[in-house]
Structure 1
Amino acid sequence: MGKLEGKIALVTGGGSGLGKADCQRLAEEGALVYVTDVNADAATAVAAEIGGAAVALRHDVSSEADWQAVYGRIARDHARLDILVNNAGIVVVADPEATTVEQFDRVMDVMCKGVFLGCKLGLPLLAKSENGSIINMCSTASHFGYAPFFAYSAAKGAVRSMSKSIAVHCQDQGYKVRCNTLHPSSIETPLIQSAEGRAGEEHEVPEGILPPGATGAPNDVANLIVYLCSDEARFLTGGEYLVDNGLSIRP
């Protein structure tokens, strides 16, 4: 039996990259996964690969109406939610002076407001779980000064702080819901490929221990998500987990 047998999960941005890997690993461990993405075809393709343990839904995370529709569907199907992975994200390559107001607003809408809506509107369903888990995807960009990724870093920093307040709120309200953040460095996904100017050009990530500065594989993140969503992680909330191959400890 898998670590997540019988659990109900929702992964945003599940149509590609980290979200796809998260959906696959959660399903492999026994969860029923709602794969949501603004690209409905991508979500459908991932759900088809997984099979009967997945449901695809179109979902713009910056839209309150879309969140209400997604949660309405889950409420009708199961009346609870055990796992929420706020993964959907976009990146704009622009420094503080080059970033436009429109770019900044769009990035914040998807990666900050989207996480806020997911948590706020999802808590009534998550509170019905016996061990609810919220995973908010952050980044090492919330720890360092990455000028070319200014708006992205700002959004991730906001999510980092917001998540701690959510963790405390859940404890204060007596909800059996934990909230943690993951902070990956460079992971081989379409988002990184685009940011590095190699859209559609995938590099193979070798097996085994990787050298400093290497790019990780999506499952390096997804495997930790499986653990944090499992009953074994009951004592872990409000934490921030660097998935960075030691990047943050190097001089």
Structure 2
Amino acid sequence: MSRLDGKVVLLSGGASGIGAETARLVVREGGRAVIADRDEERGRALAGELGGSGHFETLDVTNEAAWQRAVAGAVDRFGRLDGLVNAAGVGVRNSIEDCSLADYRRVNDVNALGTFLGCKAAVAAMKGSGGGSIVNISSVLGLRGASYAMAYCASKGAVRLLTKSVALHCAQMRYGIRCNSVHPGYIDTPMIAPALAASMGNMDGRQWLEELHPLGRLGRPEEVAAMILFLLSDESTFSTGSEFVCDGGLTA
């Protein structure tokens, strides 16, 4: 039996990177994937690739009404919502001295505010229909600091503790909704492409990032997707409010 047989999962940032690989895995495991993204061209193309098990919804994660429309669209298309993956995210390289207010707001609006709005919309949809699983994509930089990624660290730290608060509330209310965070290391996706092209002292960006990980390489989106799949499935029904790290040993 497939691990997500009949489950409906909405994925913000689902048109590319970790979100897209997770959508493909959801469908391979018998589920339905609702790709929610601002990138309509890529999102519709992926939904088409997934056939009748895929669906696209336009989503600006910083807009509460857009979240409500996306969740309603998922329920209208497939009849229910069983899972949410908050995978939309942005990053900016900056320190406390060179981070502009505009950049700080943009990173936190997408990463932290967007995750809050997604959780809020999903809980409203799931609590009366048997519950479900919310997976919030944080980062290793939600567990430890980095001088060169101040705004990103702040946003991903917020996601980590937001996750615990949502998990505890849903548990206390007996909604049957679990909420966990995933903390990837540096994953080879379009998000880190600028860093890969940069130089770091006498190393290129890719080599520098690879050497941060004891395993000696970047992670692959499908490796993070496999961890997300576990959390969406009934194999993880006693896990909530927890941190799941996928970082090639970086935080060790």
Once the two structures are superposed, the pairs formed by residues 21-170 of structure 1 within 5 Å of their partners are: 21-170=21-170
| 8 A contact 2:18–2:189 mirrored in 1 | yes
Gaps of 5+ in 1: 204-209
Moved more, 137-146 or 4-13: 137-146
Shift of 1:63: 0.7
| 8 A contact 1:80–1:128 mirrored in 2 | no
**Equivalents in 2 of 1:119, 1:33: separation in Å?**
17
User: What is the aligned partner in structure 1 of residue 209 from structure 2?
Assistant: none
Percent identical pairs in the alignment equals 39
| 8 A contact 2:185–2:247 mirrored in 1 | yes
1:231 to 230, 234, 241: 234
Report runs of 4+ in structure 1 exceeding 6 Å deviation: none
**Equivalents in 1 of 2:215, 2:131: separation in Å?**
36
**Equivalents in 2 of 1:194, 1:241: separation in Å?**
26
Other structure's SS at 1:9 match = strand
Shift of 1:71: 1.6
The Cα offsets for residues 133-159 of structure 1, whole Å up to 9 and x where unpaired, read as: 000000001122212111111100000
| 8 A contact 1:91–1:195 mirrored in 2 | no
Shift of 1:128: 3.5
Other structure's SS at 1:159 match = helix
**Equivalents in 2 of 1:172, 1:186: separation in Å?**
35
- CA 1:231/1:130 → structure 2, altered by over 3 Å: closer, same or farther? farther
Other structure's SS at 1:56 match = strand
- CA 1:57/1:28 → structure 2, altered by over 3 Å: closer, same or farther? same
- CA 1:42/1:18 → structure 2, altered by over 3 Å: closer, same or farther? same
Q: Which amino acid aligns with 1:41?
A: E
**Equivalents in 1 of 2:171, 2:143: separation in Å?**
26
User: What is the aligned partner in structure 2 of residue 212 from structure 1?
Assistant: 215
Q: Which amino acid aligns with 2:122?
A: G
1:244 to 212, 234, 247: 247
The Cα offsets for residues 159-203 of structure 1, whole Å up to 9 and x where unpaired, read as: 0001001000001111111000000001110011123336xxxx8
The Cα offsets for residues 60-106 of structure 1, whole Å up to 9 and x where unpaired, read as: 10011211111221233344310100000011111111110000101
Q: Which amino acid aligns with 1:240?
A: E
User: What is the aligned partner in structure 2 of residue 18 from structure 1?
Assistant: 18
The normalised TM-score by structure 1 is: 0.91
Shift of 1:47: 1.1
Moved more, 74-83 or 174-183: 74-83
The Cα offsets for residues 16-62 of structure 1, whole Å up to 9 and x where unpaired, read as: 11111011111110111100111111111111222211001111100
Shift of 1:211: 5.6
Other structure's SS at 1:238 match = coil
**Equivalents in 2 of 1:213, 1:95: separation in Å?**
26
User: What is the aligned partner in structure 2 of residue 206 from structure 1?
Assistant: none
**Equivalents in 2 of 1:67, 1:165: separation in Å?**
20
Q: Which amino acid aligns with 1:185?
A: G
**Equivalents in 2 of 1:81, 1:32: separation in Å?**
10
| 8 A contact 1:6–1:31 mirrored in 2 | yes
Q: How many residues end up aligned between the 2 structures? A: 239
User: What is the aligned partner in structure 1 of residue 189 from structure 2?
Assistant: 189
Across the aligned residues of Structure 1 and Structure 2, the Cα RMSD in angstroms comes to: 1.6
| 8 A contact 1:186–1:244 mirrored in 2 | yes
The normalised TM-score by structure 2 is: 0.90
